[in-house]
A and B are shown apart, each in its own frame.
Chain A
Amino acid sequence: MRIPRRLLLASAALAAMLGLSAGPVAAQDNTMVLAMVTTPRGFDPDIWVPGQIESAVNVYEGLTRFGMRAGPDGRQVVDPARIEPHLAESWTVSDDGKDYVFRIRPGMLSPFGNELTSADVVWTFEKSNAQRRTGVFIRNVARIETVEAVSRYEVRFRLRDANRIFLSVLTLHIPALFDSTEAKRHATAEDPFATRWLSANTAGFGAYHVQSVQAGQQAVFVRNPGYQLGQPHFARIIWREVPSPATRVALVRSGQVHYAEQIPLQQIVDLRRDRRVRVESVAAPGSATVRMNPRVAPFDDERVRRAVAHATDYAAIGEAVFLGVGTRSRSMLNPPIPGAIDAYTFETDYDRARQLLAEAGHPNGLDLTLEYSTNWWWEEPLALQMQASLARAGIRVTPRRIPATEMTARRAINVWSLPFMTHLTSSFVPDPSYNMFLTAHSRGGSNVNGNNNAELDRLIDESIVERDDTRWTELVAQAQRVQADSATFVETFLPGTHEVFVSCIEGFVWQPHNRLVWKNLACRR
């Protein structure tokens, strides 16, 4: 149908008169607008709620940070093998590796004007201890025994065992370094660590702090005027809640926002062709896996697990699920995690799969239920692709979608009631021992499939405390091979991180926590 030209002009004039179209908001200098899935529902890094990590990494910074190096294309990338001082200016370590003394950089100010001191560090760990949430888990993983103030600017960490994870853990936003002077002003007898106040406000020493939040609408962050480690380009961050991915795409394409979060891969492929948009893709080490619970039949038989690994059509998954932009996962550790090797050697081989099934007593195949949730966009297509490819080896799979909360509950430690499931292997800390412990050790916090391999546990435990580099590299490699051979994880692809910006945005650097760091970004037209 042809729309009369006069009608179009008249409608446009009416729209302009009403001021309906306000022009690209993203054109404003020094303000960055983000289209996010949800507004932050809290800011205390110890209590996980939607949107918390995305904001906390910009508000709370660590005593240490990962070093940088030039990447293959000349751009700066994170070097997970190198830890540098950050809010601390230096540290010393005892000969037995159990005693660290950090010297805090003087003059590090919170937005409230208070200087970071050893008392803040001690208070932070006391708070995490009292809450007994995520901070305590991190503390236990890093084997931190005590934290004590030595002087105004010196703080001592005493570890139960010397370990390689400790310095990496101090790069994290959790346990966060709080401005305890400000937080204590909001403490009460019932809430001595001001957890209520800290869940709705921020008090860190990072580049930004929250100015206002309207639930379901927007949050505004402003630059911390006391931040001393570089001046961020954007003085103000407007975080708008835009739950629909299609709307987020329309907004970033039209220049109304600088950044759109969590865009589906199909859209990423399209957006790469759009000149108004910059897509930054990184082969982040998070791996899309299909996991089998070795405590539950028929997966208690290694031959069945190996049959599943051989009956998986990796090429089809790469094309149909990850649209040719994923990277094949070759181990439970993947680059840039140091020590990652190509340990996972399973390739598609239906004859071998059928042979293994027959040897395991299933000559007529198997009936399995593969459970998945909607935590990640790729779970459903992956489950369907697994159904199609496993059928060729006589394994009849029924994919079953379950709510994310059910998935989280049923894969919890010591519950392990999911025999066969999809799962993303990922962590905040690119340390091999930490990653292996978290995901594959029988006591690991993300051991969602009930891994129970005694030899693997031993190798991981040894790698955590091993101080000799050669021996440590050997242990890490051996642990990866043992895990790959046990075939409790079908390693498929690394979906990668794909961040979508308007074309003027520069400075994106992927961080191991896989969240956007605003202080690195600038708009250059």
Chain B
Amino acid sequence: MSIRGFLLRRLLVAGPVALGILFVTFMLVRIGDQDPVAMLAGPMADAPMLARIRAELMLDQPVLTQFWAYLGRLVQGDLGRSWQGNAPVTHEILAHLPATLELVTLAVGLGTLIGVPIGLYAAERPNGTFDQLSRFGSLFGFSLPTYWLGLMAIFIFFYLLDWAPAPMGRVSMLVEAPPTITGSVLLDSILTGNWAAARSAVSQLILPVGCFTIIATAPIIKHTRAIAIEVMGSDYIRYARACGFPRRVVRRIALRAALVPVITFVGSEFTSLLAAASLIEFIFAWGGLGHWGLNAILLGDFAAVQGYVLTLAVASVIIFVLVDLAVLLLEPRAQARA
């Protein structure tokens, strides 16, 4: 089967999965006693006003009728209107998603660059000094609550030492922000040659990305180490060693063998961090999708919650398809199976 056929098959599977997620989310937000009408109408609303808004939002209709109408609008690209953002959900998602993608991509990228070599090196001598240190570091990263880590970073590097800029968003308010092209302030600054904004964007990124990288690196070290230990103990590595290959050659063979499960793990790590970004975004006033979605859940903003979950589901599908493609390119056996 060609790569196109492979992609088509994946997307055919992804469609019903996304629909299922959408249905469950749609029902879940309506099961509780949350009522966006009361929030939307404000504290001074009377009964006729509440009834009118309820009718406008179709919340007076049976829930399946509401779902059917929602699907009808969805196929036209209309995800509804967020009452908390007072704007179409699509606009809100497009406004907030790039901030989260920028944060998570950098954190997972750095986490991979740091975590994979550490995991591989630690696996060479299990229980050696470096392995013990890496395990301690990994455990440290696992144990730190994200919220606490962010607050401590702000306290030490911004408040006490005054090294970091004020944790107020993605670019300093003293700098003219670049026009939106990709939505990433850093990329847009570079693309438009706005170097002051680029420098500001880098400085604003350091603390949140640093904290998120610590969170992302810990599991990558742990999994890479576990996979690499298994690979190092395999027959083909023992054979390579017995043949007297130099250590760097043995490492290269081991890396190639370990790469596929590591890439798969990094993919799943990316999707889980995408969903877990809300706390870091909250502390650093990042204005990303995670914090927006969390607010939507707390405020009973039904259309926004559905849009948020759908975005995460679509992002997960895209990432797993990319992971599968990477595996397909790296793994001859996978190509043969495909």
Interface residues of A (CB under 8 A from B): 11-12, 15, 18-22, 25, 28, 33, 35, 38, 41-42, 47-50, 132-134, 136-138, 199-200, 214-218, 238, 240-244, 246-247, 250-251, 253-254, 256-257, 402-406, 408-410, 412-414, 445-446
Are the CB atoms of A256 and B168 closer together than 8 Å? yes
User: Chain A's nearest CB lies how many Å from the CB of B83?
Assistant: 7
Closest to A246 in B: B151
A22 vs B283: C-alpha distance in the bound complex, in angstroms? 19
Are the CB atoms of A409 and B37 closer together than 8 Å? yes
A197 vs B177: C-alpha distance in the bound complex, in angstroms? 24
Note all chain B residues with C-beta closer than 8 A to A28.
174
User: Chain B's nearest CB lies how many Å from the CB of A247?
Assistant: 5
A251 vs B99: C-alpha distance in the bound complex, in angstroms? 22
Are the CB atoms of A247 and B164 closer together than 8 Å? no
Note all chain B residues with C-beta closer than 8 A to A11.
163
Are the CB atoms of B39 and A408 closer together than 8 Å? yes
A443 vs B298: C-alpha distance in the bound complex, in angstroms? 29
Are the CB atoms of B173 and A250 closer together than 8 Å? no
Note all chain A residues with C-beta closer than 8 A to B92.
215
From B37, B161, B285, B288, give the contact of A242 (CB < 8 A): B285
Are the CB atoms of A216 and B45 closer together than 8 Å? no
A242 vs B168: C-alpha distance in the bound complex, in angstroms? 6
Contacts of B155-201 to chain A: CB distance below 8 A:
155, 158-159, 161-170, 172-174, 177, 199-200
Contacts of B254-301 to chain A: CB distance below 8 A:
282-285, 287-288, 291-292, 295, 298-300
Known: A217-B170, A246-B283, A254-B166. 19 other contacts (CB 8 A): A11-B163, A21-B158, A25-B173, A49-B84, A133-B49, A199-B86, A214-B287, A215-B92, A215-B95, A216-B288, A216-B291, A218-B169, A242-B285, A243-B282, A244-B282, A250-B155, A251-B166, A254-B158, A445-B44
Known: A20-B206, A413-B47. A133 touches B288 (CB 8 A): no
Closest to B159 in A: A250
Closest to B52 in A: A132
Interface residues of B (CB under 8 A from A): 32-50, 52, 83-87, 92, 95-96, 99, 151, 154-155, 158-159, 161-170, 172-174, 177, 199-200, 202-203, 206, 282-285, 287-288, 291-292, 295, 298-300
Known: A12-B161, A20-B165. A403 touches B41 (CB 8 A): no
A54 vs B34: C-alpha distance in the bound complex, in angstroms? 25
Note all chain A residues with C-beta closer than 8 A to B42.
47-48, 133-134
A216 vs B281: C-alpha distance in the bound complex, in angstroms? 10
Are the CB atoms of A21 and B162 closer together than 8 Å? yes
> Can you list 9 A-B contacts with CB-CB less than 8 angstroms, sorted by A residue number?
A21-B162, A21-B163, A50-B299, A240-B169, A241-B287, A246-B283, A250-B167, A409-B34, A445-B46
A284 vs B295: C-alpha distance in the bound complex, in angstroms? 28
Are the CB atoms of B159 and A254 closer together than 8 Å? yes
Closest to B53 in A: A133
Are the CB atoms of A18 and B202 closer together than 8 Å? yes
From A42, A138, A402, A404, give the contact of B299 (CB < 8 A): A404
Closest to B167 in A: A247
Are the CB atoms of A33 and B282 closer together than 8 Å? no
Known: A132-B49, A132-B52, A215-B87. A409 touches B168 (CB 8 A): no
A162 vs B314: C-alpha distance in the bound complex, in angstroms? 60
Are the CB atoms of A22 and B95 closer together than 8 Å? no
Note all chain A residues with C-beta closer than 8 A to B39.
404-405, 408
A240 vs B173: C-alpha distance in the bound complex, in angstroms? 9
Are the CB atoms of B173 and A20 closer together than 8 Å? no
From B34, B86, B158, give the contact of A200 (CB < 8 A): B86
Note all chain B residues with C-beta closer than 8 A to A402.
33
Are the CB atoms of A18 and B199 closer together than 8 Å? yes
Note all chain B residues with C-beta closer than 8 A to A42.
86
A396 vs B154: C-alpha distance in the bound complex, in angstroms? 43
Note all chain B residues with C-beta closer than 8 A to A33.
173
Note all chain A residues with C-beta closer than 8 A to B159.
250, 253-254
Note all chain B residues with C-beta closer than 8 A to A246.
151, 154, 283
**Which of B37, B43, B47, B203 counts the most A-chain CB atoms under 10 A from its CB?**
B43
Are the CB atoms of B203 and A405 closer together than 8 Å? no
Closest to B279 in A: A244
Known: A20-B203, A240-B168, A406-B35. A218 touches B173 (CB 8 A): yes
Are the CB atoms of A133 and B291 closer together than 8 Å? no
User: Chain B's nearest CB lies how many Å from the CB of A460?
Assistant: 17
